[in-house]
Amino acid sequence: MKIRILIFLQLLYFPLFAQEGNIYQYLKQKWSKEFSSAKDITTTYHDNIKRMDKKNIPLTIQNNCFMILKSGEYITQNNGEKEDIKPLLRQIPTIELNDPTVVAFMQQNSPGQWTDYYYMIQALKKGETFDAARDGISISTQFLARPLNHNDYTKLKDIFSSNNKLLHDTYLEKMKFLFRNNGCPEEIAELRPTIESHVEDSPLKQEILKLYTQYEPLSKGQSAPLSSMKDTNGKTYSFADFRGKVIIVDVWATWCCSCIEKMPKFMQLKDEFKQYKDILFLTISIDRKSDQNKWLKAIKENNMTEMLNLISAPSANSHFETEYHINGVPRYFIIDKEGKIVTVFAPGPGKEMKALIQNTLKQ
Protein backbone atom coordinates (compact mmCIF):
# COMPACT_ATOMS: atom_id res chain seq x y z
CA MET A 1 0.00 0.00 0.00
CA LYS A 2 2.78 2.44 0.95
CA ILE A 3 4.56 1.68 -2.30
CA ARG A 4 1.42 2.54 -4.29
CA ILE A 5 1.10 5.83 -2.44
CA LEU A 6 4.72 6.72 -3.19
CA ILE A 7 4.23 5.89 -6.85
CA PHE A 8 1.09 8.05 -6.92
CA LEU A 9 2.94 11.00 -5.34
CA GLN A 10 5.77 10.67 -7.84
CA LEU A 11 3.27 10.84 -10.69
CA LEU A 12 1.55 13.79 -9.06
CA TYR A 13 4.68 15.85 -8.41
CA PHE A 14 6.45 16.18 -11.73
CA PRO A 15 8.03 12.88 -12.64
CA LEU A 16 10.32 14.75 -14.99
CA PHE A 17 11.90 16.40 -11.97
CA ALA A 18 13.59 13.24 -10.76
CA GLN A 19 16.74 14.93 -11.97
CA GLU A 20 17.27 18.62 -11.15
CA GLY A 21 18.28 19.41 -14.73
CA ASN A 22 14.80 18.54 -16.01
CA ILE A 23 13.08 21.27 -13.98
CA TYR A 24 13.74 24.05 -16.42
CA GLN A 25 12.84 21.97 -19.48
CA TYR A 26 9.54 20.84 -17.95
CA LEU A 27 8.49 24.38 -17.07
CA LYS A 28 9.62 25.62 -20.46
CA GLN A 29 7.30 23.11 -22.06
CA LYS A 30 4.38 24.16 -19.83
CA TRP A 31 4.98 27.84 -20.63
CA SER A 32 5.72 27.39 -24.35
CA LYS A 33 2.16 27.83 -25.62
CA GLU A 34 0.70 31.05 -26.97
CA PHE A 35 -1.31 32.99 -24.39
CA SER A 36 -4.41 34.76 -25.66
CA SER A 37 -5.41 36.30 -22.33
CA ALA A 38 -4.07 37.21 -18.93
CA LYS A 39 -6.29 34.49 -17.48
CA ASP A 40 -4.41 31.86 -19.50
CA ILE A 41 -1.14 33.11 -18.03
CA THR A 42 -2.32 33.15 -14.42
CA THR A 43 -3.99 29.73 -14.80
CA THR A 44 -0.71 28.19 -16.02
CA TYR A 45 1.18 29.89 -13.21
CA HIS A 46 -1.14 28.66 -10.46
CA ASP A 47 -1.50 25.18 -11.95
CA ASN A 48 2.27 24.81 -11.75
CA ILE A 49 2.25 26.01 -8.14
CA LYS A 50 -0.40 23.43 -7.20
CA ARG A 51 1.58 20.57 -8.69
CA MET A 52 5.05 21.51 -7.51
CA ASP A 53 6.84 20.64 -4.30
CA LYS A 54 6.73 23.88 -2.30
CA LYS A 55 10.06 23.02 -0.72
CA ASN A 56 11.71 23.11 -4.15
CA ILE A 57 12.75 26.76 -4.09
CA PRO A 58 14.60 26.77 -7.45
CA LEU A 59 11.49 25.36 -9.13
CA THR A 60 9.31 28.06 -7.55
CA ILE A 61 11.69 30.80 -8.65
CA GLN A 62 11.84 29.51 -12.23
CA ASN A 63 8.06 29.39 -12.39
CA ASN A 64 8.04 33.03 -11.21
CA CYS A 65 10.60 33.91 -13.89
CA PHE A 66 8.43 32.38 -16.60
CA MET A 67 5.45 34.30 -15.21
CA ILE A 68 7.37 37.57 -15.66
CA LEU A 69 8.56 36.60 -19.14
CA LYS A 70 5.15 35.65 -20.49
CA SER A 71 3.38 38.53 -18.75
CA GLY A 72 5.90 40.96 -20.22
CA GLU A 73 5.38 39.54 -23.69
CA TYR A 74 1.60 39.73 -23.34
CA ILE A 75 1.61 43.31 -22.03
CA THR A 76 4.00 44.48 -24.75
CA GLN A 77 2.14 42.73 -27.58
CA ASN A 78 -1.05 44.49 -26.48
CA ASN A 79 0.61 47.89 -25.89
CA GLY A 80 -0.52 47.76 -22.27
CA GLU A 81 -4.10 48.45 -23.38
CA LYS A 82 -6.11 45.32 -22.52
CA GLU A 83 -8.37 45.52 -19.48
CA ASP A 84 -7.11 42.22 -18.08
CA ILE A 85 -3.57 43.58 -17.64
CA LYS A 86 -4.28 45.33 -14.33
CA PRO A 87 -5.45 42.14 -12.59
CA LEU A 88 -2.52 40.31 -14.19
CA LEU A 89 -0.08 42.75 -12.60
CA ARG A 90 -1.45 41.91 -9.16
CA GLN A 91 -0.62 38.23 -9.73
CA ILE A 92 3.01 38.75 -10.78
CA PRO A 93 5.38 37.89 -7.93
CA THR A 94 8.33 39.87 -6.63
CA ILE A 95 11.72 38.43 -7.50
CA GLU A 96 15.37 39.00 -6.56
CA LEU A 97 17.47 39.73 -9.66
CA ASN A 98 20.73 38.59 -8.06
CA ASP A 99 19.39 35.16 -7.09
CA PRO A 100 21.55 32.45 -8.77
CA THR A 101 18.43 30.70 -10.10
CA VAL A 102 17.21 33.94 -11.66
CA VAL A 103 20.63 34.55 -13.23
CA ALA A 104 20.64 31.01 -14.64
CA PHE A 105 17.15 31.60 -16.06
CA MET A 106 18.22 34.87 -17.71
CA GLN A 107 21.18 33.17 -19.32
CA GLN A 108 18.75 30.92 -21.17
CA ASN A 109 16.14 33.59 -21.96
CA SER A 110 17.62 36.80 -23.42
CA PRO A 111 18.72 38.58 -20.21
CA GLY A 112 18.18 42.08 -21.61
CA GLN A 113 14.63 41.44 -22.76
CA TRP A 114 13.63 39.59 -19.59
CA THR A 115 15.06 42.36 -17.41
CA ASP A 116 13.29 45.02 -19.48
CA TYR A 117 10.01 43.18 -18.87
CA TYR A 118 10.78 42.96 -15.15
CA TYR A 119 11.34 46.71 -14.80
CA MET A 120 8.40 47.55 -17.04
CA ILE A 121 6.13 45.47 -14.79
CA GLN A 122 7.47 47.20 -11.66
CA ALA A 123 6.75 50.62 -13.20
CA LEU A 124 3.25 49.58 -14.29
CA LYS A 125 2.52 48.37 -10.77
CA LYS A 126 3.37 51.88 -9.55
CA GLY A 127 0.80 53.38 -11.91
CA GLU A 128 3.06 54.50 -14.77
CA THR A 129 1.62 54.58 -18.30
CA PHE A 130 2.71 51.82 -20.66
CA ASP A 131 4.76 54.20 -22.82
CA ALA A 132 6.60 55.52 -19.77
CA ALA A 133 7.09 52.05 -18.30
CA ARG A 134 8.32 50.22 -21.40
CA ASP A 135 12.01 50.12 -22.18
CA GLY A 136 13.35 53.26 -23.83
CA ILE A 137 16.99 52.20 -23.99
CA SER A 138 17.00 49.68 -26.85
CA ILE A 139 15.89 50.14 -30.45
CA SER A 140 12.44 48.69 -31.10
CA THR A 141 10.70 48.09 -34.41
CA GLN A 142 7.39 47.85 -32.55
CA PHE A 143 7.40 51.31 -30.96
CA LEU A 144 8.52 54.81 -31.85
CA ALA A 145 11.65 55.94 -30.06
CA ARG A 146 11.02 58.05 -27.00
CA PRO A 147 13.39 60.12 -24.83
CA LEU A 148 14.98 58.30 -21.91
CA ASN A 149 13.02 58.85 -18.70
CA HIS A 150 13.35 58.29 -14.95
CA ASN A 151 12.37 54.61 -15.31
CA ASP A 152 15.21 53.97 -17.76
CA TYR A 153 17.76 55.73 -15.57
CA THR A 154 16.51 53.98 -12.42
CA LYS A 155 16.89 50.63 -14.17
CA LEU A 156 20.45 51.41 -15.23
CA LYS A 157 21.38 52.61 -11.74
CA ASP A 158 19.90 49.49 -10.11
CA ILE A 159 21.67 47.18 -12.52
CA PHE A 160 25.11 48.77 -12.24
CA SER A 161 24.74 48.97 -8.45
CA SER A 162 24.10 45.23 -8.25
CA ASN A 163 26.62 42.39 -8.32
CA ASN A 164 24.99 40.74 -11.34
CA LYS A 165 27.82 40.37 -13.87
CA LEU A 166 25.48 39.03 -16.56
CA LEU A 167 23.39 42.20 -16.43
CA HIS A 168 26.49 44.38 -16.16
CA ASP A 169 27.77 43.02 -19.47
CA THR A 170 24.35 43.15 -21.11
CA TYR A 171 23.71 46.80 -20.23
CA LEU A 172 27.28 47.98 -20.82
CA GLU A 173 26.67 46.88 -24.41
CA LYS A 174 23.49 48.95 -24.43
CA MET A 175 25.42 51.95 -23.12
CA LYS A 176 27.25 52.15 -26.46
CA PHE A 177 23.92 52.81 -28.16
CA LEU A 178 22.95 55.36 -25.50
CA PHE A 179 26.10 57.40 -26.06
CA ARG A 180 25.65 57.39 -29.84
CA ASN A 181 22.05 58.56 -29.60
CA ASN A 182 21.91 60.61 -26.40
CA GLY A 183 25.47 61.74 -25.72
CA CYS A 184 26.31 62.15 -22.05
CA PRO A 185 23.39 63.92 -20.35
CA GLU A 186 23.53 64.51 -16.61
CA GLU A 187 21.73 61.26 -15.79
CA ILE A 188 24.20 59.19 -17.83
CA ALA A 189 27.14 61.09 -16.31
CA GLU A 190 25.87 60.25 -12.81
CA LEU A 191 26.19 56.53 -13.59
CA ARG A 192 29.95 56.73 -14.12
CA PRO A 193 31.04 56.47 -10.44
CA THR A 194 28.74 53.47 -10.00
CA ILE A 195 30.17 51.74 -13.06
CA GLU A 196 33.71 52.50 -11.94
CA SER A 197 33.19 51.12 -8.42
CA HIS A 198 30.72 48.25 -8.89
CA VAL A 199 31.42 46.75 -12.32
CA GLU A 200 34.24 44.25 -12.68
CA ASP A 201 37.08 45.47 -14.88
CA SER A 202 36.99 44.24 -18.48
CA PRO A 203 37.70 45.50 -22.01
CA LEU A 204 33.99 46.33 -22.31
CA LYS A 205 34.03 48.44 -19.14
CA GLN A 206 37.13 50.28 -20.37
CA GLU A 207 35.39 50.92 -23.68
CA ILE A 208 32.45 52.53 -21.88
CA LEU A 209 34.74 54.68 -19.70
CA LYS A 210 36.49 55.81 -22.87
CA LEU A 211 33.10 56.83 -24.33
CA TYR A 212 32.49 58.91 -21.21
CA THR A 213 35.75 60.75 -21.89
CA GLN A 214 34.82 61.28 -25.53
CA TYR A 215 31.26 62.51 -24.98
CA GLU A 216 31.62 64.59 -21.80
CA PRO A 217 32.96 67.61 -23.79
CA LEU A 218 29.54 67.69 -25.50
CA SER A 219 27.60 67.86 -22.23
CA LYS A 220 25.29 70.67 -21.23
CA GLY A 221 27.21 73.83 -20.29
CA GLN A 222 30.36 72.94 -22.22
CA SER A 223 31.63 75.34 -24.89
CA ALA A 224 30.45 74.25 -28.33
CA PRO A 225 33.41 73.15 -30.50
CA LEU A 226 34.16 75.79 -33.14
CA SER A 227 34.19 73.54 -36.18
CA SER A 228 34.81 75.06 -39.58
CA MET A 229 31.82 75.30 -41.96
CA LYS A 230 31.05 77.06 -45.25
CA ASP A 231 27.89 78.60 -46.67
CA THR A 232 26.57 78.30 -50.22
CA ASN A 233 28.90 81.09 -51.34
CA GLY A 234 32.00 79.53 -49.80
CA LYS A 235 32.22 81.89 -46.82
CA THR A 236 33.70 80.21 -43.70
CA TYR A 237 31.83 80.22 -40.38
CA SER A 238 32.05 78.75 -36.91
CA PHE A 239 29.59 79.02 -34.02
CA ALA A 240 31.71 81.86 -32.63
CA ASP A 241 30.31 84.06 -35.42
CA PHE A 242 26.82 83.80 -33.91
CA ARG A 243 27.52 84.74 -30.29
CA GLY A 244 24.64 86.66 -28.77
CA LYS A 245 22.06 84.44 -30.48
CA VAL A 246 20.49 81.14 -29.52
CA ILE A 247 21.46 78.76 -32.32
CA ILE A 248 19.17 75.96 -33.47
CA VAL A 249 20.90 73.49 -35.76
CA ASP A 250 19.57 70.79 -38.07
CA VAL A 251 22.38 68.41 -39.09
CA TRP A 252 21.42 66.61 -42.27
CA ALA A 253 22.55 65.13 -45.60
CA THR A 254 21.04 65.01 -49.08
CA TRP A 255 21.08 61.19 -49.03
CA CYS A 256 19.07 61.03 -45.79
CA CYS A 257 15.35 60.54 -46.54
CA SER A 258 14.36 61.10 -42.91
CA CYS A 259 16.26 64.41 -42.91
CA ILE A 260 14.39 65.64 -46.00
CA GLU A 261 11.08 64.46 -44.55
CA LYS A 262 11.59 66.38 -41.29
CA MET A 263 13.02 69.55 -42.83
CA PRO A 264 9.58 71.24 -43.36
CA LYS A 265 8.86 70.81 -39.62
CA PHE A 266 12.20 72.44 -38.82
CA MET A 267 11.38 75.37 -41.10
CA GLN A 268 7.90 75.64 -39.58
CA LEU A 269 9.47 75.86 -36.12
CA LYS A 270 11.78 78.57 -37.44
CA ASP A 271 8.72 80.57 -38.55
CA GLU A 272 7.17 80.25 -35.10
CA PHE A 273 10.16 82.15 -33.65
CA LYS A 274 10.54 84.72 -36.42
CA GLN A 275 9.59 87.58 -34.05
CA TYR A 276 12.71 86.91 -31.95
CA LYS A 277 15.84 88.76 -33.03
CA ASP A 278 18.19 86.76 -30.79
CA ILE A 279 17.66 83.35 -32.36
CA LEU A 280 19.14 81.75 -35.48
CA PHE A 281 17.98 78.59 -37.24
CA LEU A 282 20.53 77.03 -39.56
CA THR A 283 21.35 73.72 -41.23
CA ILE A 284 24.67 71.91 -41.46
CA SER A 285 25.13 69.28 -44.15
CA ILE A 286 27.61 66.45 -43.78
CA ASP A 287 27.66 65.80 -47.53
CA ARG A 288 31.11 65.29 -48.97
CA LYS A 289 32.86 67.96 -51.02
CA SER A 290 32.22 65.92 -54.17
CA ASP A 291 28.45 66.16 -53.50
CA GLN A 292 28.34 69.94 -53.09
CA ASN A 293 26.25 70.41 -56.25
CA LYS A 294 23.69 67.92 -54.88
CA TRP A 295 23.64 69.93 -51.65
CA LEU A 296 23.01 73.22 -53.47
CA LYS A 297 20.28 71.59 -55.57
CA ALA A 298 18.57 70.07 -52.51
CA ILE A 299 18.49 73.46 -50.77
CA LYS A 300 16.51 74.93 -53.67
CA GLU A 301 14.26 71.91 -54.17
CA ASN A 302 13.29 71.85 -50.50
CA ASN A 303 12.66 75.61 -50.22
CA MET A 304 15.48 76.12 -47.71
CA THR A 305 16.93 79.26 -49.24
CA GLU A 306 15.59 81.57 -46.50
CA MET A 307 17.77 79.83 -43.90
CA LEU A 308 21.51 79.92 -43.42
CA ASN A 309 22.73 76.64 -44.89
CA LEU A 310 26.22 75.45 -44.06
CA ILE A 311 28.26 72.44 -45.05
CA SER A 312 30.99 70.76 -43.02
CA ALA A 313 34.41 71.97 -44.17
CA PRO A 314 37.06 69.73 -42.60
CA SER A 315 40.49 71.27 -42.07
CA ALA A 316 43.74 70.19 -40.42
CA ASN A 317 42.53 71.53 -37.05
CA SER A 318 38.78 71.07 -37.31
CA HIS A 319 36.39 68.31 -38.27
CA PHE A 320 32.71 68.87 -37.50
CA GLU A 321 31.60 65.22 -37.66
CA THR A 322 34.42 64.06 -35.39
CA GLU A 323 34.10 66.85 -32.84
CA TYR A 324 30.34 66.38 -32.51
CA HIS A 325 30.39 62.57 -32.86
CA ILE A 326 27.95 62.56 -35.76
CA ASN A 327 27.11 58.86 -36.11
CA GLY A 328 23.81 59.41 -37.86
CA VAL A 329 21.45 62.09 -39.11
CA PRO A 330 19.27 63.97 -38.58
CA ARG A 331 20.73 65.44 -35.39
CA TYR A 332 19.64 68.65 -33.71
CA PHE A 333 21.60 71.11 -31.58
CA ILE A 334 20.64 73.98 -29.31
CA ILE A 335 23.46 76.36 -28.34
CA ASP A 336 22.92 79.34 -26.05
CA LYS A 337 23.87 82.97 -26.56
CA GLU A 338 27.26 82.48 -24.91
CA GLY A 339 28.22 79.61 -27.20
CA LYS A 340 27.53 76.99 -24.51
CA ILE A 341 25.88 73.69 -25.33
CA VAL A 342 22.28 73.29 -24.21
CA THR A 343 22.10 69.96 -26.04
CA VAL A 344 23.61 68.49 -29.18
CA PHE A 345 21.17 65.58 -28.96
CA ALA A 346 17.94 67.57 -29.02
CA PRO A 347 14.58 65.98 -29.88
CA GLY A 348 13.35 66.51 -33.43
CA PRO A 349 11.26 69.55 -34.38
CA GLY A 350 8.07 69.49 -32.35
CA LYS A 351 6.69 70.36 -28.92
CA GLU A 352 9.71 69.16 -26.95
CA MET A 353 12.20 71.09 -29.06
CA LYS A 354 9.99 74.18 -28.93
CA ALA A 355 9.89 74.02 -25.12
CA LEU A 356 13.69 73.67 -24.96
CA ILE A 357 14.10 76.70 -27.22
CA GLN A 358 11.68 78.80 -25.15
CA ASN A 359 13.50 77.90 -21.94
CA THR A 360 16.86 78.78 -23.50
CA LEU A 361 15.59 82.16 -24.68
CA LYS A 362 14.47 83.02 -21.14
CA GLN A 363 17.94 82.47 -19.69
User: Which three-class secondary structure string do you get for the chain?
Assistant: CHHHHHHHHHHHCCHHHHCCCHHHHHHHHHCCCCCCCHHHHHHHHHHHHHHCCCCCHHHHHHHHHHHHHHHHHHHHHCCCCCCCHHHHHHHCCCCCCCCHHHHHHHHHCCHHHHHHHHHHHHHHHCCCCHHHHCCCCCCCCCCCCCCCCHHHHHHHHHHHHCCCHHHHHHHHHHHHHHHHHHCCCHHHHCCHHHHHHHCCCCHHHHHHHHHHHHHHHHCCCCECCCCCEECCCCCEECHHHHCCCEEEEEEECCCCHHHHHHHHHHHHHHHHCCCCCCEEEEEEECCCHHHHHHHHHHHHHCCCCCCEEEEECCCCCCCHHHHCCCCCCCEEEEECCCCEEEECCCCCCCHHHHHHHHHHHHC
Distance, in Å, from the CA atom of 44 to the CA atom of 250, rounded to the nearest integer, reads 52
Domain boundaries, the chain: 14-134, 229-362
What are the tens digits of pLDDT across the range 81-131? 999 999 999 999 999 999 999 999 999 999 999 999 999 999 999 999 999
pLDDT surpassing 90 at residue 358: yes
Q: Are strands 236-237 and 229-230 parallel, antiparallel or unpaired?
A: antiparallel
Distances in Å between the Cα of 293 and the Cα atoms of 82, 263, 297, 300 are: 53, 19, 6, 11
Distance, in Å, from the CA atom of 329 to the CA atom of 149, rounded to the nearest integer, reads 22
At 343, the pLDDT band (50, 70, 90 cuts) reads very high
At 21, the pLDDT band (50, 70, 90 cuts) reads low
Within 10 angstroms of residue 341's Cβ, the number of other Cβ atoms is 22
Least confident of 9-13, 196-200, 338-342: 9-13
Distance, in Å, from the CA atom of 35 to the CA atom of 162, rounded to the nearest integer, reads 33
pTM (predicted TM-score): 0.86
Tell me the CATH number for domain 229-362: 3.40.30.10
Ramachandran class of 284: left when φ > 0, alpha when ψ lies in -120 to 50, beta otherwise:
beta
Q: Do residues 312 and 284 make contact, with C-beta atoms less than 8 angstroms apart?
A: yes
What are the tens digits of pLDDT across the range 149-195? 999 999 999 999 999 999 999 999 999 999 999 999 999 999 999 99
Least confident of 18-32, 210-224, 269-283: 18-32
